[in-house]
Amino acid sequence: MLRKLGKSNQVAIPKEIVSGLRLKKDDYLDIYIENNKIILEPKVLVPKDQAYFFTEEWQIDERNAEKDIREGRVTKIK
pLDDT at residue 54 in the model: 87
Q: Which domains does the chain have, with CATH numbers?
A: 7-43 (2.10.260)
Average pLDDT value for residue range 2-13: 94
Q: Rounded to whole angstroms, how far apart are CA atoms 45 and 39? A: 18
DSSP secondary structure, 23-58, as one string: --TT-EEEEEEETTEEEEEEE----GGGGGGGSHHH
Higher-pLDDT residue of 29 and 1 is 29
Please write the tens of the pLDDT for every residue from 43-56: 989 999 999 998 99
